[in-house]
């Protein structure tokens, strides 16, 4: 989907806050019909209240039945859907050096939302997207998919898997009408980190990130690393050990 072919109808998962809400607002400002989806109705309502005409859908992306039902509703109510932004995600710090084991339910939940949920959404919505003459499936990755942050090992692993899945999907659908895109943020100032005692250093302002991401989409790029993620993309190949140490430098 090129700059001359703007999105007409957009679904954003994890649209109740952070990057999802920011991208939803950007597409809404351009005149697209925007549907935001997420687990918490109150968050969705608060975002939609700021943007007249924005729709909301409550869904847990980790539940394939709920995702399938959402796809059925969207297919009926918004048959011209041409853009899906697969953004829902959670991040938890896990310390495997502790004497006690980590809570398996928390470990599993992060994998379920960040990876399985993204795959469920892609699987459920690709049939609708393939009906359009020009469509996009956009995955939100992370610079930590290139170089992991040891304090969030499960998050980093899921984002590496998202990157791999996106590459495979792009290869499979190369001859279709659906463009497979990955936006790869650095650390961005959002409430993704609300459970952590310290805010991550060198976090990018959300508005600046959204502007850069939209510029990449306008340019028709299929892989859009932003800010420090550009550095991690390159250095993960040429000096992986060095930047693994830099990313995981102890903070005093």
Q: How far is CA 139 from CA 3, 30, 89, 102, 221, in A?
A: 19, 20, 11, 28, 13
Which of 120, 125, 146, 155 is catalytic? The answer is 155
Q: 3-state secondary structure string, 10-61?
A: EEEECCCCHHHHHHHHHHHHCCCEEEEEECCHHHHHHHHCCCCCCEEEECCC
Q: What residues pair up with 138 in beta bridges, in sequence order? A: 85, 181
Residues near 183 by Cβ (< 8 Å), separated by ≥ 6?
A: 138, 139, 140, 141, 213, 216, 217, 224, 226
Q: Tell me which residue has tokens 């060095």.
A: 242
Q: What residues are paired with 178 via a beta bridge?
A: 135
Q: Which residue from 2, 4, 9 is spatially nearest to 125, judged by alpha carbons?
A: 9
Q: How many residues does the chain have?
A: 252
146 assigned to active site:
no
> Strands 135-140, 83-86: parallel, antiparallel or unpaired by DSSP?
parallel
Q: Which of 46, 47, 5 is nearest to 26 (CA)?
A: 47
Report the C-alpha gap between 35 and 25 in whole angstroms. Answer: 10
Determine contact, residues 135/178, Cβ cutoff 8 Å: yes
**Residues involved in catalysis:** 155
């Amino acid at each position: 989907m090129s700059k001359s072919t703007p999105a007409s109808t957009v679904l954003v998962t994890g649209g109740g806050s952070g990057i999802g809400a920011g991208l939803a607002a950007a597409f809404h400002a351009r005149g697209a019909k925007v549907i935001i989806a997420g687990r918490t109705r109150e968050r969705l309502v608060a975002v939609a209240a700021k943007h007249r005409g924005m729709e909301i859908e409550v869904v847990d992306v980790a539940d394939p039945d709920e995702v399938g039902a959402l796809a059925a509703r969207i297919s009926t109510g918004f048959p011209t859907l041409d853009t899906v932004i697969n953004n829902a995600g959670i991040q938890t710090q896990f310390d495997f050096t502790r004497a006690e084991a980590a809570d398996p339910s928390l470990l599993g939940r992060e994998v379920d939302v960040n990876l399985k949920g993204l795959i469920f959404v892609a699987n459920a919505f690709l049939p609708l997207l393939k009906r359009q003459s020009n469509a996009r499936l956009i995955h939100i990755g992370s610079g930590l998919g290139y170089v992991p942050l040891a304090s969030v090992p499960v998050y980093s692993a899921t984002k590496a898997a998202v990157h791999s899945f996106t590459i495979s999907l792009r290869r499979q659908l190369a001859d279709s009408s659906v463009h497979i895109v990955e936006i790869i943020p650095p650390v961005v100032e959002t409430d993704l980190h609300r459970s952590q005692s310290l805010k991550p250093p060198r976090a990018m302002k959300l508005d600046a990130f959204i502007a850069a991401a939209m510029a990449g989409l306008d340019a028709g790029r299929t892989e859009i690393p932003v800010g420090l993620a550009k550095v991690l993309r390159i250095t993960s190949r040429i000096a992986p050990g060095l930047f693994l140490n830099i990313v995981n430098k102890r903070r005093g």
